[in-house]
Amino acid sequence: MEAVHTPAFYIGAMGSQATSAKRAERLKRIGGLTDEQIARLHMPIGLDLGSKAPAEIALAVVADILRVYHGKERHAL
């Protein structure tokens, strides 16, 4: 919750789509975050590359961070 109050350009959280949706609801309801603040969060973290192994997950996360850094939308890939 504290990260959204920083100038960080990428804030992510691991978990499935369902877990991410539940997390967003909790952050709004209990954490008091606004829709705009929640929209800054990349949940689930990383690109959906079908990654299972730790190294593949790390690659997917770094690729997503670079995507955001360069201003690319997910659908533009």
Using alpha carbons only, give the angle 30, 73, 76 rounded to the nearest 5 degrees.
Answer: 145
* Predicted local distance difference test score (pLDDT) of residue 60: 95
The pLDDT value given to residue 57: 94
Ranges assigned E (strand) in 1-77: 11-12, 41-42
This prediction has a pTM of: 0.83
Please give the DSSP secondary-structure letter assigned to residue 42.
E
pLDDT grade for 75, boundaries at 50, 70 and 90:
confident
Residue-wise pLDDT for 20-64, tens only, equals 999 999 999 999 999 999 999 999 999 999 988 999 999 999 999
Identity (one letter) of the amino acid at 34? T
Pairwise CA distance, residues 50 & 38, whole Å: 25
Write down the pLDDT at residue 41. Answer: 96
